[in-house]
Amino acid sequence: MSQTNNFIFKGLRVIAWVIFVGLCIEAGGLLVNFFFSLYNPDFVSKLYQRLDLSEIYERSKWAFFGMYSFIISIAILKAVLFYIVIKLVTEINLQKPFNELVSKQILQISYYTFSIGLLSYIARQTAKNLKHHGYSMDVLDQFWGDSQAFILMAAVVYVIGVIFAKGVEIQNENELTV
């Protein structure tokens, strides 16, 4: 492996860690925001993203808990996704990349990515439905605006995972014949 590739791979590790930490902070901030919106709603305007859903809470507790569940679940799934990415870029052996661990982690990344996309799509449709009933949902669009991108990315990563799984199978067969 050349020095350039090694340098780029180390850079990708750093970027993955930065994104992971940012997503953890976002998920934690949203959890704190949720608990403050339940117990001290006046303080929400001073918190992360100032996500105030008190109007929804007053009209329907079910809608409030449902929307917050979507928001928090998506944020946590994104953090878990990047944790798996970090494990992948940390544990991969670039001299011999086709192994079971890499194959499983790539497939796992595709499953989490698909879950995020699907959950985001369901949340967006639920928010649209609530909007038709007079709820103000415009502040929530930022949390699931990229659902189709995640679903498409999941398909691409899944194909790469299947190719890696086939590569592992071929490599194992070659090792047995030698």
| Residue 27: predicted pLDDT | 92
Query: What pLDDT, on the 0 to 100 scale, is given for residue 123?
Result: 92
Residue type, 162: V
Three-class DSSP category at 109: helix
pLDDT of residue 117: 95
- DSSP labels, 42-94: GGGGGSGGG---HHHHHH-HHHHHHHHHHHHHHHHHHHHHHHHHHHHHHH--T
pLDDT, mean of each 10-residue run, the chain (178 residues): 75 93 92 83 70 81 90 95 93 82 93 96 91 82 85 95 90 76
Which residue shows structure tokens 């928090």? 72
pTM over 0.85: yes
Q: What was the pLDDT predicted at 121?
A: 94
- Are 118 and 172 in contact by the 8 Å Cβ rule? The answer is no
Task: Pull the structure tokens for residue 33.
Answer: 């925001």
pLDDT at 6: 77
Among residues 169, 115, 171, 120, the alpha carbon closest in space to that of 143 is found at 120
- What local confidence, expressed as pLDDT, does residue 178 receive? 58
d(CA 141, CA 79): 19
What pLDDT is stored for residue 44 in this prediction?
66
